[in-house]
Amino acid sequence: MGEHNYLSEFELMILLIVINLGDDAYGVPLTRQLAIERGRDVSVGSVYATLDRLEEKGLIASRLGEATAERGGRAKRYFRVTEQGLRTVQQTRTVLNKLWKSLPSAGEELA
Amino acid sequence: MKPKWLVTLATWILEHLTYGTHKEALVGDLLEELRRGRSTRWYWRQVLSAIGVELSRRPRDYTLTLIFSAAWSTLYPFWWHLIGRNHLPQTLPQRWAALDWPYSGTLALLCGVTPAVTFIWLGLFVYLMSRLGVARELTGSQVLRSLSVSLNVLLVANVAVLKFFANAAIDIRFVPREEFYATFHLNSISVSLVLSLFFAIACALPPVRGRRFDSFAR
């Protein structure tokens, strides 16, 4: 069996949002989008903890952006998904699709 | 109108209690959201949550530090006998007490705190020596900051101990100087010494993360 980076639901959502945001993928839009998708407020700290973990796994990369007065002089950090990250997302989708297929439709008896 | 000092305080706490690679970006994002209309309450909730996440991410690092601090604090009675007996003659505090205020009070305080402070600083250096690989990267200012943090935590913990005993059955005036740190204890582990050493080490040796600056080039 090959080596896989298994993704949690939260990690997968973050990776997908980073892909969707493209060049504008930094903390604020990322957290806002995540809050919209999940339907509740999200802890920015837990988002960064997950981003940190994904970066350690080599699934995303980051670079420092511009600092603005609005941010108290702190630089933004932009994220993008790496080749390995994209591969992992696709693998996860394949596994999940396979599992979804075995889901019985409503009213059908469980095996 | 948002009270500025509340935001400044929360930001200071966040910056000093988190060590992640993305600390600057995290603080910047929170400030950006605040300027865009989020409440101070929301800001504080996010700050506390970020600190909680940070602390829960490195339990092994902090557990080791806590165990070392607790074990080290049990050695304090030996240290007191070593330094207290040889270098702080018992008559000295009495002689200082005869001086005018504030010299009498200040010198008595120094006499009481000095053995504990030197004990904690020695513990910090022993810990750093045991992790020489990481400690080698420490700068002088980081060490100074750590020593200062240990002192502040010890003083705050001492005030808390005195406040605790204000309502307790023990009269702190009759507690011998050498037993002060052992009086507020759990199985001979002095809480104030443990806290002071723990924060000194945590401040000197943040988790190894946080050294990457740009990984886009990968």
- Quick: pLDDT tens for B96-124: 566 666 555 666 666 677 888 889 999 99
Q: pTM to 2 decimals?
A: 0.60
- If you ran DSSP here, which 8-state letter would residue A107 be given? T
- pLDDT band at residue B45, thresholds of 50, 70 and 90? very high
Across A86-99, average pLDDT: 92
More confident residue, B130 or B85: B130
Q: For position A72, which CATH number holds?
A: 1.10.10.10
Helix, strand, coil percent content, chain B, rounded in steps of 5? 75, 0, 25
Counting one residue from chain A and one from chain B, the pairs whose CB atoms sit within 8 A come to 98
- B39 Cβ under 8 Å from any chain A Cβ: no
* Separation CA A31–CA A8 (nearest Å): 17
Residue B13 contacts A where some CB pair is shorter than 8 Å? no
Q: pLDDT over 70 for what percent of chain A?
A: 92
Instruction: In whole angstroms, give the CA distance from residue B17 to residue A46.
Output: 15
Per-residue pLDDT, A30? 96
Q: Which domain covers residue A93, as residue numbers?
A: 9-101
The model's confidence at residue B158, banded by pLDDT at 50, 70 and 90, is: confident
What is the average per-residue pLDDT within A83-109? 87
Chain segment B166-204, per-residue pLDDT in tens: 656 666 666 666 666 665 554 456 788 888 999 888 888
Which residue type, as a one-letter code, is found at position A88? T
Is A81 part of any domain? yes
A108 assigned to some structural domain: no
Domain count within chain A: 1
Query: What residues in A contact B54, CB-CB < 8 Å?
Result: 45, 49
Chain A residues closer than 8 Å to B218 by CB? 58, 61, 82
Examine residue A110 and state whether it is found in any structural domain, yes or no.
no
- Dist. CA B185–CA B180, nearest whole Å: 10
- For the cut 90, the answer to whether the pLDDT of residue A109 exceeds it is no
Of A101 and B170, more confident = A101
Q: What percent of chain A has pLDDT over 90?
A: 67
Q: Considering the domain boundaries, does residue A16 fall inside one?
A: yes
A82 contacts on B by Cβ (under 8 Å): 218
Q: Is A35 on the interface with B (CB under 8 A)?
A: no
Q: What share of chain A is helix, strand, coil (3-state, %, to 5)?
A: 55, 15, 30
Which residues, in sequence order, are CB contacts of B85 under 8 Å at separation 6+? none
**DSSP β-bridge partners for residue A61:** A80
- For B7, nearest residue in chain A (alpha carbons): A72
Instruction: Give the list of residues 6+ apart from residue B45 with CB closer than 8 angstroms, or none.
Output: none
Average pLDDT over residues B80-94: 63
